[in-house]
């Protein structure tokens, strides 16, 4: 082994490799003899393609360039494409948000042209007897937003006659999961209103439906302001399965729509559901034999078969795959998006009879040699008041080690949301750092999902406090255990994770520097500028306005720059509707006023989450160069990022 300073090890993993070989895969649908999926194509302008396996075994496009199957309902989208009984693709096109039907290679519109660009949006798509069911989002000229569940004919008659798009039910701020009963007499759906977010409180509603419209009484079966209900599925004409966290955990229930009787199927201290950021999410699927295929979470995911009659749960072995998302099912075959600490994420098919797992499409084309990939360590550190769950990835290289007496720097990755979570993963981005001698720690701070409602609720009213404290607990825990250099701790995160980065840097001296990807820097203007879905999110995370105005000002990193004494990297998409560029720009201006070394990188054509090949390469190289300059190492073959420095004298 060759000794060299941590951070300076030569690595075969380049930012260009990460960007060009990475193509995150989602969904999974049986169509005839084929399997279709959606795939982010960074090399094609960041579009989302619908693809299948070609005759030569290589992926091929179902949806050709430049079409982009991506919904903007709630801005996070979801359920952006579906398939007709005849095997034709129906999708929401990102550029105008209209629905299209793919005929041959030529998509034709199904919905009328909106009065303004993207003012009519569709998501959570499904097809039933010749019509498309969708959640529709309407943006008025005055900035108002309304939503309804609607039906769109497949014959194209709505293109020139908007009245052909039939509104089925409205009257709620937010809607999801429209489900028609087997006898077509009832509709079930999920609804909620501001200020709730879907992980705070939703309602399972049901009503009779006649001629495509809800009639009579709308009945609320489950849910409320402090009960989150998810994914209704019909058992028969009068019973539903659903997920509720009424016990403190997202568990499965059977509900009778006539009597409103509720029966817990398998009470457990584990989550059988998750945060409804994207429409169309699924955490269980009924099988032909009456059992349910489920995914439960306590830190990591476990696939299991649940017998609703007995409550028995039988785990399905997945050989180290610790994240599981359910796709389409055909008989005893199920499509899964799965990954683990030693296996890359991707679309796989599981045969439940034999246990055989077949790879359909991985989210990366080329993986580095295994010797360059980090090994995940699940750890729990005790803070002053609570435990914090983390996943550590120490530096790893087949030919290099640190110099005698040297401890490695560590980057704390802070996930977004903040209502989200991380699991052990073979993440090429982590390997980009660890193969150079930089450790990574992924933190499930208080507020993360996957550990029950109490863990999730730790962040209520405490955003900018609990998340910061928990990340500090994680990195100081690594330092105390002898894994990390306490003088070279770094923090990075995007969106809400970027907020935690800026909050940590302005209120503590633990970190040597930090990188904020499109992070929230200020609160009162953010509430005015962000999109409708999250416009009341801060009611729970901080407190309602105007009562909590003083707290908003107190917590905002922008107002605490006086406590900042280390360099900052800001990275921002100029088309971001969720965290607008003004957030990063205000923080940049404050850094200049105080004379803090920094860099501000802005990217045209990028929204919330970078997608373009050039952006992915530039941003990751810039981040590594930034760390090297601050922490005192020179990463080989990385362009040097120019930092703004205060004028001399």
Give the number of other CB atoms < 10 A from CB of residue 363: 20
Query: Whole-model pTM?
Result: 0.93
The one-character DSSP state at 15 is H
The set of residues, in sequence order, having a beta carbon less than 8 Å from that of 75 and lying 6+ positions away, is 531, 533, 577, 578, 608
| Chain center to CA of 434 | 24
The set of residues, in sequence order, having a beta carbon less than 8 Å from that of 542 and lying 6+ positions away, is 461, 463, 464, 523, 548, 551, 552, 555
What is the C-alpha to C-alpha distance for residues 625 and 410, in angstroms, rounded to an integer?
15
Phi first, then psi, for residue 497 (nearest 5°) are: -65, -35
What is the C-alpha to C-alpha distance for residues 181 and 188, in angstroms, rounded to an integer?
8
User: From the first residue on, what is the mean pLDDT of each consecutive set of 10 residues in the chain (649 residues)?
Assistant: 94 88 91 95 93 90 96 96 96 98 92 94 95 97 95 96 96 97 96 97 97 90 97 97 98 96 97 96 96 96 97 95 96 96 94 95 89 95 91 97 95 96 93 97 96 96 97 97 97 97 98 97 90 94 95 96 96 94 96 96 94 94 97 94 89
- Furthest CA-CA distance within the chain: 80
CB 340 within 8 A of CB 320: yes
Closest of 70, 16, 12 to residue 39, by C-alpha: 70
Phi first, then psi, for residue 294 (nearest 5°) are: -125, 160
Token pair for residue 296? 């439960």
Position 105 scores a pLDDT of: 83
Q: Which stretch of DSSP H or E encloses residue 132?
A: strand 131-139
Position 163 scores a pLDDT of: 94
Rg (C-alpha) for the chain, rounded Å, is: 25
Position 104 scores a pLDDT of: 84
Closest of 353, 370, 360, 355 to residue 338, by C-alpha: 360
| Chain center to CA of 548 | 28
The set of residues, in sequence order, having a beta carbon less than 8 Å from that of 501 and lying 6+ positions away, is 414, 491, 492, 493, 514, 515, 516, 519
| Token pair 């998409």: residue | 573
Closest of 564, 567, 576 to residue 622, by C-alpha: 567
């Amino acid at each position: 082994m060759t000794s060299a300073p941590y951070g300076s090890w030569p690595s075969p993993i380049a930012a260009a490799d990460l960007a060009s070989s990475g193509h995150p895969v989602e969904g999974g649908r049986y169509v005839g003899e084929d399997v279709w999926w959606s795939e982010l194509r960074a090399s094609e302008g960041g579009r989302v393609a619908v693809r299948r396996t070609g005759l030569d075994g290589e992926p091929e496009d179902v949806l050709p360039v430049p079409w982009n199957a991506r919904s903007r309902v709630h801005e996070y989208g979801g359920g952006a494409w579906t398939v007709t009984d005849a095997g034709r693709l129906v999708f929401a096109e990102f550029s105008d948000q209209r629905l299209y039907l793919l005929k041959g290679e030529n998509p034709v519109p199904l919905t009328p042209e909106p009065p303004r660009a993207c003012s009519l949006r569709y998501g959570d798509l499904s097809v039933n007897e010749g019509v498309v069911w969708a959640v529709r989002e309407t943006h008025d000229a005055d900035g108002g937003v309304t939503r309804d569940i609607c039906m769109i004919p497949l014959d194209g008659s709505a293109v020139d006659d908007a009245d052909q798009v039939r509104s089925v039910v409205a009257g709620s701020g937010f809607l999801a999961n429209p489900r028609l009963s087997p006898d077509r007499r009832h509709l079930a759906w999920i609804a909620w209103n501001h200020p709730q977010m879907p992980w705070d409180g939703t309602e399972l509603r049901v009503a009779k439906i006649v001629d495509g419209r809800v009639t009579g009484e709308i009945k609320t079966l489950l849910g409320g302001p402090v009960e989150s209900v998810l994914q209704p599925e019909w058992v028969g004409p009068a019973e539903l399965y659903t997920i509720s966290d009424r016990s403190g955990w997202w568990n499965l229930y059977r509900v009778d729509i006539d009597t409103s009787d509720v029966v817990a199927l398998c009470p457990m201290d584990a989550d059988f559901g998750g945060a409804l950021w994207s429409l169309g999410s699924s955490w269980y699927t009924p099988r032909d034999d009456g059992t349910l295929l489920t995914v439960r979470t306590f830190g990591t995911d476990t696939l299991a078969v649940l017998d609703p009659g007995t409550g028995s749960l039988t785990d399905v072995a997945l050989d180290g795959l610790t994240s599981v998302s359910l796709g389409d099912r055909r008989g005893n075959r199920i499509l899964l998006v799965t990954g683990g600490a030693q296996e890359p994420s991707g679309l796989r098919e599981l045969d439940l009879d034999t246990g055989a797992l077949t790879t359909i499409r991985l989210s990366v084309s080329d993986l580095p040699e295994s010797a360059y990939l980090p090994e995940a360590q699940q750890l729990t550190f005790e803070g002053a008041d609570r435990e914090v769950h983390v996943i550590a990835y120490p530096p790893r290289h087949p030919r290099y080690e640190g110099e005698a007496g040297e401890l490695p720097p560590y980057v704390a990755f802070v996930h977004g949301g903040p209502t989200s979570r991380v699991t052990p993963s073979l993440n090429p981005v982590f390997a980009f750092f660890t193969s150079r001698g930089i450790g990574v720690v992924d933190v499930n701070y208080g507020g993360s999902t996957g550990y029950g409602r109490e863990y999730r609720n730790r962040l209520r009213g405490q955003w900018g406090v609990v998340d910061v404290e928990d990340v500090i607990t994680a990195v100081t825990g690594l330092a105390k255990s002898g894994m990390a250099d306490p003088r070279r701790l770094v923090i990075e995160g995007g969106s809400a994770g970027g907020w935690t980065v800026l909050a940590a840097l302005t209120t503590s001296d633990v970190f040597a520097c930090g990188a904020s990807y499109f992070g929230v820097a200020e609160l009162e203007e953010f509430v005015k500028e962000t999109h409708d879905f999250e416009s009341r999110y801060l009611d729970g995370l901080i407190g309602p306005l105007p009562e909590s105005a003083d707290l908003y000002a107190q917590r905002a990193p922008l107002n605490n720059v006086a406590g900042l004494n280390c360099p900052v990297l800001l990275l921002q998409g100029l088309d971001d509707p969720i965290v607008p560029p003004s957030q990063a720009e205000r923080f940049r201006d404050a850094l200049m006023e105080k004379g803090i070394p920094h860099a501000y990188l802005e990217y045209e054509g990028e929204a919330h989450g970078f997608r373009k090949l050039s952006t992915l390469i530039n941003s990751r190289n810039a981040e590594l160069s930034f760390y090297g300059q601050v922490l005192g190492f020179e990463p080989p073959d990385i362009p040097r990022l120019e930092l703004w420095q205060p004028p001399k004298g």
